[in-house]
Homo-oligomer: A and B are copies of this chain.
Amino acid sequence: MNDGQQEDIQALTRGRPVAIVGAGLVGAGWAVVYARAGLQVQVFDANPEITARVLPLIQGQLEGLQRHGLLREAPADVLARIRTVGTLAEAVQGVAYVQESVLERIDVKRPLMLELDALLGPDVVVGSSTSGIPGSAFALGLSISPRVLIVHPVNPPYLVPVVELVPSPETAPATVAFADALMQAVGQTVVHVKKEVEGFVLNRLQAVLLREAWALVQEGVASCEDIDKTVRDGLGWRWSFMGPFETIDLNAPGGVADYAVRLGPLYQRVAASREHEAPWDAALIGEVESQRRLLLSEAELEARRAWRDERLMALAAARHGG
């Protein structure tokens, strides 16, 4: 967070707070992002049990960040900017922006949009964290529709910077511009998804890689662990600092066009060699699960997630100089 970003935030929000609606893992993560950036955060969840857990959850996340040198203030100072409230109306009172992270269900998101339509002033932007439901499915035909878009994070958003912005056909360009500026001001990396394709970009890339990985297991070509090695000790090295287009642009003498001509036919054959007629069946899921459970028991999952978060924080610290 540099001085330029601080000024940007104040200019963008005119000193107003941000509302977090939906206080599960994703909402809590967003609260950290905004509070760490200096914003006041008002948090609401329809489930009071979730609300009761969110501040201790956030405190733990902040302490982890501090341990890795990723927090410039004391956790208590950041936490002091976050308060929970008992109603949606209180949560959105006087805010510049609403981050919605409720259940991934149209029959939950649509009613919420109707409520926000009634509550919000004419200059409040609403970002939905949804990964699977396009704005067109729940945010059209309302007075707020021009000010609603998808603002889809990677979990946890306070560590992994990519955010996908996905406007609906009714989203105004100024709304996208606002969300872009806000995301950059709070330290995220913005990706513009210009059409409402299922899975947006990141999850589509993950989807196709996983479909191929699972097919290789099904065919007996390689074990789950060996496939994992090709990524964590191979592909993942380059992809940790270069995207796929830059990677291939550097991997042929004449750049990406040269690469595409040389490797294009092979890649087309590989992709065409698969049918994708059905989701992974029970037998294959059982096979993958049994291979994974030999490496990591179900009882160890929780600890391994904590290990993963420590590794992510170390990565973030290395990237941002701690």
In the assembly, what is the distance between CA of A89 and CA of B198, in Å? Answer: 58
Contact B220 A194 (CB under 8 A): yes
Instruction: Specify which of A159, A216, A224, A237 lies most central, judged by the most chain B CB atoms within 10 Å of its CB.
Output: A237
Contact A243 B219 (CB under 8 A): no
- Confirm or deny: A250 has a beta carbon within 8 angstroms of a beta carbon on chain B: yes
- Confirm or deny: A210 has a beta carbon within 8 angstroms of a beta carbon on chain B: yes
Interface size on A, residues (CB 8 A): 104
Contact A208 B270 (CB under 8 A): yes
Contact B230 A216 (CB under 8 A): no
Q: Assuming the A-B contacts A240-B232, A292-B249, are A198 and B270 also in contact, with contact meaning beta carbons closer than 8 angstroms in the complex?
A: yes
Contact A209 B210 (CB under 8 A): no
User: With a CB–CB cut-off of 8 A, which chain B residues contact A256?
Assistant: 285, 288-289, 292
User: With a CB–CB cut-off of 8 A, which chain B residues contact A160?
Assistant: 233-234, 237-238
Contact A201 B216 (CB under 8 A): yes
Contact B211 A268 (CB under 8 A): yes
Question: Closest Cβ of chain B: how far from A70's Cβ, in Å?
Answer: 14
Q: Assuming the A-B contacts A233-B162, A305-B250, are A268 and B276 also in contact, with contact meaning beta carbons closer than 8 angstroms in the complex?
A: yes
In the assembly, what is the distance between CA of A127 and CA of B216, in Å? Answer: 23
Output the nearest chain B residue to A153 by Cβ-Cβ distance: B234
In the assembly, what is the distance between CA of A198 and CA of B234, in Å? Answer: 18
Instruction: Specify which of A155, A193, A207 lies most central, judged by the most chain B CB atoms within 10 Å of its CB.
Output: A207
Contact A213 B271 (CB under 8 A): no
Contact A230 B243 (CB under 8 A): yes
Q: 10 nearest interchain CB pairs? A: A228-B243, A240-B240, A162-B234, A236-B239, A264-B279, A271-B276, A272-B276, A207-B267, A207-B270, A202-B230
